[in-house]
């Protein structure tokens, strides 16, 4: 066990911070398209389960290759269980279901609001103050997110249980925020990063299996090249590669500042949609993206933001 530096003490401009920050945003921006493609014959609960079953295998393999400790003590296992259920079970179970009622663009834009509960919970549980610069940047970014949300709604009005879709998305955001803040606590930072994540994914997968079997019945899988490839991409690239990078950002920057990664994600998702799905930009969407990015810059330039 070890004590990492307190969250929020690292400089964003350091290459060890900014490069993973951009890489995680790029990868997670692409996963929204992949998740949308999984909403077919396999129930969402089982798609989430398969993703983290393979991610768990990948993470434990990484632990062994890196010669990290394979076991956690009792306290570490309790933290891993709470982290796994919040991040790798509830969060994704809510998100996958939300996309049944809302467009993936709307869910991605809404999820950018993660920075709000992250900053608030970080203030309550970690004692991190919210500076004026961070608050100003957040307000600007939220204005941009609002414009993106309006644009997405106009071009693809969601049908059916819209309110239910929003509620599911908010539930996913809150679950992710709890996991983010838990990762930044002193107890979690004493645990080996990769070992903690491996056990958290295992605990989350077990919870996913229980939820999937209860809600959707026995295991279901689609034996097509596209579905197998999408599960592999989400498990390895979208989970094994990104979560260690993101949780390291949380430990270094604090949950409020690290959550600004989510402001970039919907913008990247729309850029990728422009390339692969013929997404058409409008003045409203362009203005929203510019405001979101401007807010990101203001918040990250603030002295000791969200500390």
pLDDT tens for 118-132 read 888 888 877 777 788
> What whole-number distance in Å separates Cα of residue 116 and Cα of residue 114?
5
pLDDT exceeds cutoff 80 at 11: no
Residue 307's pLDDT is 43
Structure-model confidence comparison of residues 202 and 187, the more confident one: 202
For 282, half-sphere exposure in the C-beta direction (CA atoms, 13 angstrom radius) is 11
Residue 118: the pLDDT is 83
Predicted confidence band of residue 16 (pLDDT cuts 50, 70, 90): confident
If one compares 278 and 148, the residue with the highest pLDDT of the two is 148
Q: Where are the alpha helices (DSSP H) in the chain?
A: 15-38, 44-65, 74-84, 92-98, 104-111, 115-126, 132-155, 162-183, 186-189, 193-216, 225-232, 242-253, 255-258, 261-276, 283-301
CA 85 to chain centroid: 14
Average pLDDT score over residue span 76-85: 96
- What is the average pLDDT value for the chain, to the nearest integer? 85
CB atoms under 10 Å from CB of 294, counted, come to: 15
| pLDDT class of 306 with cuts at 50, 70, 90 | very low
Q: CB under 8 Å to 269, separation ≥6 — which residues?
A: 29, 30, 32, 33, 104, 105, 108
pLDDT in tens, 177-189: 999 889 888 899 8
Instruction: Answer whether residue 157 shows pLDDT above 50.
Output: yes
pLDDT of res. 251: 81
Q: What is the mean pLDDT of residues 104-133?
A: 80
Distance CA 137, CA 144 (A): 11
- Does position 161 have pLDDT exceeding 70, yes or no? no
Q: In a 3-state reduction of DSSP, which class is residue 127? A: coil
Between 144 and 92, whose confidence is greater?
Answer: 92
Give residue 156's pLDDT: 62
The CA distance from 272 to 266, in Å, is 10
pLDDT at 305: 43
**Global confidence as pTM:** 0.84
Which residue has better confidence, 240 or 289?
240
Q: What is the residue extent of each domain of the chain?
A: 15-301
- State how far the Cα of 188 lies from the Cα of 247, in Å rounded to an integer: 10
- pLDDT tens profile 20-69: 999 999 999 889 878 877 877 899 999 999 999 999 999 999 999 999 99
């Amino acid at each position: 066990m070890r004590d990492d530096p307190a969250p929020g003490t690292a400089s964003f401009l350091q290459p060890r911070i900014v490069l993973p920050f951009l890489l995680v945003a790029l990868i997670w921006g692409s996963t929204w398209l992949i998740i949308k493609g999984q909403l077919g014959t396999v129930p969402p609960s089982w798609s989430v389960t398969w993703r983290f079953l393979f991610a768990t295998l990948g993470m434990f393999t990484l632990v062994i290759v890196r010669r990290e400790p394979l076991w956690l003590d009792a306290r570490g296992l309790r933290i891993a269980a709470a982290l796994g259920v919040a991040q790798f079970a509830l969060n994704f179970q809510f998100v996958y279901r939300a996309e049944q009622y809302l467009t993936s663009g709307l869910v991605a834009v809404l999820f950018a609001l993660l920075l709000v509960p992250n900053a608030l919970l970080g203030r309550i549980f970690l004692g991190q103050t919210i500076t004026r610069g961070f608050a100003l940047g957040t307000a600007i970014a939220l204005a941009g997110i609002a414009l993106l949300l309006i644009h997405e709604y106009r071009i693809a009005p969601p049908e059916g249980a819209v309110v239910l879709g929003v509620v599911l998305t908010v539930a996913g955001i809150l679950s992710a925020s709890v996991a983010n803040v838990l990762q930044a606590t002193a107890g979690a930072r004493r645990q080996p990063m990769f070992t903690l994540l491996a056990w958290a994914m295992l605990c989350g997968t077990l919870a996913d299996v229980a939820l999937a079997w209860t809600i959707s019945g026995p295991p279901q899988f689609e034996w097509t090249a596209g579905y197998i490839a999408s599960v592999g991409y989400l498990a390895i690239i979208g989970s094994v590669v990104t979560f260690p990078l993101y949780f390291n950002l949380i430990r270094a920057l604090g949950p409020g500042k690290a959550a600004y990664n989510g402001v970039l994600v919907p913008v990247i998702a729309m850029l990728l949609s422009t390339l692969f799905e013929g997404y058409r930009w409008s003045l409203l969407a362009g203005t929203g993206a510019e405001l979101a990015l401007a807010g990101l810059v203001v918040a990250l330039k603030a002295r000791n933001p969200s500390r």
